[in-house]
């Protein structure tokens, strides 16, 4: 199974030339597609084919040793992370208001208030309709909310 592994190097980092030779040596090992130096984070990212634990034996035969465990990078999930954060905020609002308000209610009230303010300023065509439209969208989407509870 193809994958990606980040190896964090001990500080202080070796000179860039040594890091480049390490990346070149790693990339030459069968089963490794590339080895990218990340000097800012002090790491090397290895893209590989197959199981990395099996590749570790090939790497060790080349004289490269790992002093600590290797962390396999998981795919990022920005929508899931946002949903978890929204759920946390929603829970905090519910606790602070003893369950009388939630994130959706406050967002709806804020959007409606913003829309009314824009109407009062005479900005009907752009900002007011946009804010009120978003408030209506929140109202229609309320049954679909999945990040809460």
Residue 149 located in a structural domain: no
Task: State residue 95's pLDDT score.
Answer: 94
Share of the chain above pLDDT 70, in %: 89
What range defines the domain where residue 111 resides?
A: 78-144
Residue 26 located in a structural domain: yes
φ/ψ of residue 45, rounded to 5:
-100, 125
Question: How many CB atoms lie under 10 A from the CB of residue 61?
Answer: 9
Task: State residue 75's pLDDT score.
Answer: 75
Task: State residue 1's pLDDT score.
Answer: 53
The reply to whether 11 and 59 lie within a common domain is yes
Burial environment of residue 46 by CB neighbours within 10 A (0 to 12, 13 to 18, 19 or more): buried
- Whether 71 shows a pLDDT value over 70: the answer reads no
Residue 104 located in a structural domain: yes
The reply to whether 67 and 110 lie within a common domain is no
Task: Select from 30, 48, 75, 81 the least CA-distant residue to 7.
Answer: 48
- Whether 93 shows a pLDDT value over 70: the answer reads yes
**Cis omega (within 30 of 0) for bond into 76:** no
The structural domain count of the chain equals 2
The reply to whether 66 and 83 lie within a common domain is no
Q: Contact at 8 Å (CB) between 81 and 89?
A: no
Task: Select from 52, 67, 61 the least CA-distant residue to 5.
Answer: 52
The string of pLDDT tens digits covering residues 9-49 is 877 887 888 888 888 888 888 888 998 988 888 888 889 88
């Amino acid at each position: 199974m193809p994958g990606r592994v980040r190896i964090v190097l001990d500080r202080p980092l070796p000179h860039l030339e040594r890091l480049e030779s390490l990346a070149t040596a790693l990339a030459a090992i069968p089963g490794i597609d590339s080895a990218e130096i990340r000097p800012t984070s002090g790491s090397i990212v290895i893209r590989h084919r197959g199981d990395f634990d099996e590749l570790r034996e090939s790497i060790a035969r080349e004289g490269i040793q790992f002093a600590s465990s290797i962390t396999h990078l998981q795919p990022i999930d920005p929508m899931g992370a946002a949903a978890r954060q929204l759920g946390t905020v929603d829970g905090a609002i519910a606790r602070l208001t003893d369950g009388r308000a939630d994130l959706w209610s406050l967002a709806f009230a804020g959007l409606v208030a913003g829309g009314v303010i824009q109407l009062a300023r005479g900005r009907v065509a752009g900002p007011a309709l946009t804010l009120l439209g978003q408030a209506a969208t929140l109202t229609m989407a309320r049954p679909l909310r999945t990040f809460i509870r």
